[in-house]
Copies of this chain bind each other. A is one copy, B any other.
Amino acid sequence: METLSSNRSFGGIQSVHRHASAETGTDMAFSVFLPPQAIAGEKRPVVWYLSGLTCTHANVTEKGEYRRVCAELGLIFVAPDTSPRGESVPDDPDGAYDFGLGAGFYVDATEAPFAANYRMRSYVERELPGLIAGHFPADMGAQAIMGHSMGGHGALTIGLRNPAAYRSISAFAPIASPMRCPWGEKALGGYLGPDRARWRDYDATALIEDGARVDALLVDQGEADAFLETQLKPELLAEACDRAGIPLTLRMQPGYDHSYYFISTFMEDHLRWHARRLG
């Protein structure tokens, strides 16, 4: 693991690292914020943040405004990339922003030519946690997961599939049901093929319909979000949670859009919500 940068911030250290991923077959970059308590030697809980379409680790690292609260609460904050990258990695044939590079959708692809590299599910669920456990003072028994848009979908599905691993789950403007929106239909079809039964493992509402259960979910959604009605559809998640008896706190935020101006506003609420559940 190579350290690309390391900067003191809010009494902790914000760093960026690169490693050769066995899952993706590429170099992968990620960022880590260590709070002062971790620098002082304590093992601290880990909050995973999964980013949206077109993003790398850098977007939330620069614009997410999480360090002040993580420093106060003693939370380690890890932000992975959103896809494998490199000259050899197959991309959307038209170079579209919503498939291929920057758009891994947190799946393990089964279809050629994507199956070799697009293994973001296994990368986020297994490989990167192993690397974090080995290199940082992380309490891997206390993990939370959150994300934005495509990364909100990632956080919900990874959390719902692994309730023993993640004590709490939240999302900003998640793609609530990729099986029922254009972004998701394109991505799941492209990575997993046309059999929609195989998509259900990557759809938060389908996972809940199929029996997945968690103690609680927190979702913030801007009412002025341009993708709200066509792509995000939080009402589908609300209906599934309602039927399954999963307590969902869905906060519709008037005037807020899909940007980091929205995310940074409510980041503190999410981190405090996770910290209460991480103990």
Q: Which of B8, B11, B257 is A7 in contact with, Cβ under 8 Å?
A: B257
Decide if B224 touches A262 in the complex (CB within 8 Å). Answer: no
Give, as a whole number of angstroms, the nearest-CB distance from A61 to chain B.
9
In chain A, positions 229-279 with a C-beta closer than 8 Å to chain B are: 255-257, 259-262, 264-265, 268
Q: Which of B63, B256, B265 is A63 in contact with, Cβ under 8 Å?
A: B63
Residues of B within 8 Å of A268, CB to CB, are 68
Q: A256 to B6, alpha carbons, bound, how many Å?
A: 10
Decide if A9 touches B264 in the complex (CB within 8 Å). Answer: yes
Q: A262 to B222, alpha carbons, bound, how many Å?
A: 30
With contacts A9-B262, A261-B7, A261-B8 taken as known, whether A65 is within 8 angstroms of B62 at the C-beta atoms is no
Give, as a whole number of angstroms, the nearest-CB distance from A78 to chain B.
17
Q: Which of B7, B68, B222, B259 is A65 in contact with, Cβ under 8 Å?
A: B68
A117 contacts chain B at the CB level, 8 A cutoff: no
A14 contacts chain B at the CB level, 8 A cutoff: yes
* A33 closest partner in B (C-beta): B261
Q: Which of B9, B259, B261 is A261 in contact with, Cβ under 8 Å?
A: B9
Residues of B within 8 Å of A227, CB to CB, are none
Give, as a whole number of angstroms, the nearest-CB distance from A99 to chain B.
27
Residues of B within 8 Å of A262, CB to CB, are 7-9
A200 contacts chain B at the CB level, 8 A cutoff: no
Residues of B within 8 Å of A7, CB to CB, are 257, 259, 261-262
Give, as a whole number of angstroms, the nearest-CB distance from A47 to chain B.
18
A67 contacts chain B at the CB level, 8 A cutoff: yes
Give, as a whole number of angstroms, the nearest-CB distance from A144 to chain B.
22
A136 contacts chain B at the CB level, 8 A cutoff: no
Q: A56 to B259, alpha carbons, bound, how many Å?
A: 20
* A260 closest partner in B (C-beta): B62
Q: Which of B67, B222, B256, B260 is A264 in contact with, Cβ under 8 Å?
A: B67
Residues of B within 8 Å of A67, CB to CB, are 261, 264-265
* Residues of A near any B CB (own CB < 8 A): 7-11, 14, 62-63, 65, 67-68, 222, 224, 255-257, 259-262, 264-265, 268
A selection of 19 A-B contacts at a CB cut-off of 8 Å is A7-B259, A7-B262, A8-B222, A8-B256, A8-B261, A8-B262, A8-B265, A9-B256, A9-B261, A9-B262, A9-B265, A10-B264, A10-B265, A14-B261, A62-B62, A65-B68, A65-B264, A67-B264, A67-B265
| Known contacts A8-B255, A62-B63, then 20 further A-B pairs from the complex at CB < 8 Å, ordered by chain A residue | A7-B262, A8-B222, A8-B256, A8-B265, A9-B256, A9-B261, A9-B262, A9-B264, A10-B264, A10-B265, A11-B265, A62-B260, A63-B63, A65-B65, A65-B68, A65-B264, A67-B261, A67-B265, A68-B265, A68-B268
